[in-house]
């Protein structure tokens, strides 16, 4: 497969997952601010922007002074509506459409059509008219439609593996950001909202038999081996995609740098004592995000003819 096509497919997987998860994170944080009057809006918004990789200089370009009051409406502009903001859902959907154009001959017709249709409301201005919480639901539904169309129409060949690789690395990264923003909020009841945002609340209740604690919620989002949005599950699927792309069943060990990085961080999460992991979740999640960025760099060097990888910046970066 041509490296440019492989790169486009990889980033289609990442961009669609990023749009979906950004909508989920914004939804839960917006609801918390509306429902809990004791929450400090400015601090919550600062933490959210920082967790999503928006640095003070970038925020200033959109009229946000990170040292002063910050409102959720300003956050929505930077992370949701403004196509000029590289962190916004509008920009991400535009990037997904451009990546799809780059791999047009490889995508199925239904997949191209659903990606293109999802992008059209942005240049037309209709996207700006969608208000929370409806806009979050719309983004999640479009992402689910794109993902489902890819699942239903693509052969499980290299094209599919690159989309899955991008999707699962992005999902691990974004779940870590959801966990980090929830931990920074400092309130145990916020974990219920985080579970709902990730679509894991019902699965969590069945797994823990209705017992809700912040420790159990964090453990589920990070370590559950059966839930598809957990960090460990996503990392495991990313490793499987790498195996399918370049694996030799007769060779033991990791065959490339990306596989080594992802496998090591997954093992550290799975075999580390949970209390140690929970002691400083934001820092641990930042380390995971750096690993995902390093793995993306390694994938770019190996498969995409040395193309410079696009990467998020997270808390403390």
Pairwise CA distance, residues 26 & 54, whole Å: 14
Q: Using CA atoms, how far apart are residues 206 and 192, in angstroms rounded to an integer?
A: 14
Which candidate, 302, 307, 309, places its Cα nearest to that of 259?
Answer: 302
d(CA 90, CA 82): 6
The answer to whether the Cα torsion of 137, 151, 149, 102 is positive or negative is positive
- Residue 115's pLDDT is 98
pLDDT in tens, the chain (317 residues): 678 899 999 999 999 999 999 999 899 889 888 887 788 899 889 988 988 888 888 888 888 988 899 999 999 999 999 999 999 999 999 999 999 999 999 999 999 999 999 999 999 999 999 999 999 999 999 999 999 999 999 999 999 999 999 999 999 999 998 888 888 776 657 788 888 888 899 999 999 987 778 889 999 999 999 999 999 999 999 999 999 988 665 555 556 899 999 999 999 999 988 888 888 888 999 999 999 999 999 999 999 975 544 555 554 43
Per-residue confidence (pLDDT) for residue 255, from 0 to 100: 63
**Per-residue b or e along 262-295, where b marks 16 or more CB atoms closer than 10 Å to that residue's CB:** bbebbeebeeeeeeebeeebbebbbebbbbbbbb
């Amino acid at each position: 497969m041509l490296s440019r096509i492989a790169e486009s497919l990889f980033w289609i997987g990442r961009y669609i997952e990023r749009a979906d998860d950004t909508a989920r994170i914004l939804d839960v944080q917006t609801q918390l601010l509306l429902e809990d009057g004791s929450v400090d809006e400015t601090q919550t918004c600062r933490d959210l922007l920082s967790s999503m990789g928006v640095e003070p200089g970038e925020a200033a370009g959109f009229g946000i002074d990170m040292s002063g009051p910050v409102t959720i409406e300003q956050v929505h502009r930077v992370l949701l509506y403004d196509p000029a903001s590289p962190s916004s859902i509008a920009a991400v959907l535009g990037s997904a459409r451009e990546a799809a154009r780059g791999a047009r001959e490889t995508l199925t017709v239904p997949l191209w059509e659903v990606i293109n249709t999802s992008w059209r409301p942005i240049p037309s201005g209709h996207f700006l008219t969608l208000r929370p919480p409806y806009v979050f639901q719309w983004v999640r539904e479009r992402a689910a439609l794109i993902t489902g169309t890819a699942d239903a129409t693509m052969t499980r060949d290299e094209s599919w593996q690159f989309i899955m690789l991008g999707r699962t690395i992005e999902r691990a990264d974004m779940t870590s950001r959801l966990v980090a923003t929830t931990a920074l909020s400092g309130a145990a009841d916020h974990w219920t909202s985080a579970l709902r945002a990730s679509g894991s609340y019902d699965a969590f209740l069945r797994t823990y038999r209705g017992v809700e604690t912040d420790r159990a919620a964090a453990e589920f989002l990070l370590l559950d081996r059966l839930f598809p949005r957990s960090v460990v599950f996503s990392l495991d699927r990313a490793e499987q995609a790498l195996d399918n792309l370049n694996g030799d069943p007769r060779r033991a060990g990791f065959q490339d740098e990306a596989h080594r990085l992802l496998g090591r961080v997954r093992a550290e999460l799975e075999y580390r004592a949970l209390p140690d992991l929970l002691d400083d979740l934001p820092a641990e999640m930042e380390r995971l995000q750096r690993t995902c960025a390093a793995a993306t760099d390694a994938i770019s060097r190996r498969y995409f003819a040395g193309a410079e990888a696009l990467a998020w910046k997270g808390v403390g970066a």
